[in-house]
Structure 1
Amino acid sequence: MKAGSDAEERLVRGQGDFLADLDLDALEACFVRSPYPHARVQSISLPGGRGLTGAQLARLAGPLRVDGPGLKAVPWWPLAVEKVRFVGEAVAVVWAEDRYLAEDLADETEVDYEPIPAGPLHEEAPDGVLYESRREGGDFEAAFGRAARVLERTFKTARQTPLPLEARGVVARWDGAAGRLTVWTSTQVPNLVRTVLASSLQLAEGDVRVIVPVVGGGFGLKAHVFPEEL
């Protein structure tokens, strides 16, 4: 196989530097996630005080807000505040010197949930519709009127989830003296990550640097900004 660039040559030889290959002497973080689709968070007990709850983090950073045509801008907190809205939503984060200890701390975290009936997840979208897009072009009725045959069908598609070989991941380093944040993340949209991080953390975009190592697949999954990155 003939590689077309130095980067491709390194990948062919198994020498690509992915996020997990970085040696930055960082703490490992592990998220505590909700087993309920809809519940109020009554209390959280963190082992050893090595972690943050959603209420604590809300005092340090604002929610993620992504605006765009057809989107209803609803706040998406890095950690759930007061209630969870889907199975797997993070309610707390703990950290330790290695991955195994971090996962042990997550297992030891006690969360008191009060399950609540299904209903609108966001007050800003009581109808449950967060995105709606309509596109029109040409004279639809005239085109159908000229057609020799008209076939009507209803098509439905199932939910789809991209499955890249490399999962999402992020490493961050804060330089308190310079007031600058450096983030290494497996993403397809580094500029968007920088914009959202700067806005949520109330930093100037020039003080946030986003570095993307070799990405082990994305397929659209990594074309978004996720709470874990904050």
Structure 2
Amino acid sequence: MYLSDLAPWTESGSLDTVASGPVAPLPPSSLNVGGVPQDAPALVHSGRGSVWSCASCHGDQGEGAGITPRLAGLPQDYLTKQLHDFASGERLNESMHYVASKLQQKDITELAAYYASMPIPELTLPPSDADLARGRNLFENGDWKQNVPACISCHGSQGEGVGAAFPPLAAQQPEYLFSQLAAWKGGHRHNSPQDLMDDIASRLSYEDLYAVSYYAASLPRSERNVRVSANLEDTDGTE
């Protein structure tokens, strides 16, 4: 879970302890979203030893919830980097450090490939008083009076993400997006390229971070990942 991303910091600069522990694993499944057969790595649904399953926090469809992010449809290279950063401690989260530090490279490769192949589930935004007009303006235009670039300049015109460094924002859990922007603003996250996100988030108010988080989350899913197995081959020979 991602509660420790928002946990208060002690004077020594370490995160306060957040209670965590193994969660009862969900039953294994060989089906992903839409009933498409696909063998999931054992860690997804069953965990291994003292390491609880990915699905017990991130959902059976990799959809996430609240401040726990959606993993389904995120780029494989991005997921790989984040797992390495959690394992090394470069990205701070007690629960994810515990899990990632016990993974072998083979595990990381399999998990990242599996979640990247999953279609993006539909997202129903929770009720919010976020200023979506302000969020849209920040997302599309930035705020040059505060030296803040538009989100689209790195994350794509529809929030679809660009490469391993700039993940998709569209259809991500809005609470998670806000929690991470708040972590960058508060100095609790530091693994963005050239500290870009640290600097950008520090220039915006929490109200602005909240607004742009909910606007980005409201953008439609990338059609590329809605049904990952669709049209893999042309069965009737037509275009």
Compute the TM-score of the two structures, normalised by the length of structure 1. Answer: 0.26
The structure with the largest helix share of the pair is: 2
The structure with the largest strand share of the pair is: 1
Compute the TM-score of the two structures, normalised by the length of structure 2. Answer: 0.26
Computing the radius of gyration from Cα coordinates, the structure with the larger value is 1
Q: Which one has more relative contact order, counting CA pairs under 8 Å at least 6 apart?
A: 1
